[in-house]
């Protein structure tokens, strides 16, 4: 599979090429159609998989490519839910050794998912707006439950 571009600049995934027309798929919509070959050109330097991944929003793509385990994802979710937290609080509350936490915070900050925050005069971290948007995209809205314990009287 290759990435091709039509004469309007729209990118497609090339599925099948014949003498006069090619079957292409729009990576954003999934729609397939035939386009005349004289309207298509191969796109150099971008694989079909990169084109397909390009349909994911930048914040979500950043999250997916920088969070490699459940603990790191959980750290971002906790910081999103609780707000910025100091490094000492993070070390006390979660099962990270200092070097492991430092490594995760460094990677997530470099990726633009975390930003430093001043928490009571100490260094802390909170999620960025991009991280918040990515988390909102991948997590369903949690509705508060109105169901209390059932009355047994």
pTM beyond 0.75: no
Question: What are the tens digits of pLDDT across the range 7-54?
Answer: 999 999 999 999 999 999 999 899 999 999 999 999 998 888 988 888
Sheet containing 122-127: order of strands: 85-86, 122-127, 114-119
d(CA 133, CA 135): 5
CA nearest to 104, candidates 61, 131, 68 = 68
| Domains, the chain | 2-52 (2.30.30), 58-138 (1.10.10.10)
């Amino acid at each position: 599979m290759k990435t091709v571009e039509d004469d309007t600049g729209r990118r497609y995934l090339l599925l099948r090429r014949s003498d006069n027309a090619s079957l292409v798929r729009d990576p954003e919509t999934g729609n397939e159609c035939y386009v005349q070959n004289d309207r298509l050109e191969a796109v150099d330097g971008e694989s079909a998989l990169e084109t397909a991944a390009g349909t994911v929003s930048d914040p979500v793509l950043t999250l997916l490519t920088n969070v490699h385990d459940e603990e790191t994802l959980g750290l971002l979710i906790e910081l999103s839910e609780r707000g910025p937290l100091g490094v000492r609080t993070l070390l006390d509350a979660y099962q990270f050794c200092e070097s492991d936490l430092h490594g995760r915070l460094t990677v997530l900050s470099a990726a633009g998912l975390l930003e430093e925050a001043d928490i009571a005069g100490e260094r802390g971290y909170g999620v960025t707006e991009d991280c918040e948007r990515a988390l909102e995209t991948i997590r369903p809205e949690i509705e508060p439950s109105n169901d209390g314990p059932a009355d047994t009287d």
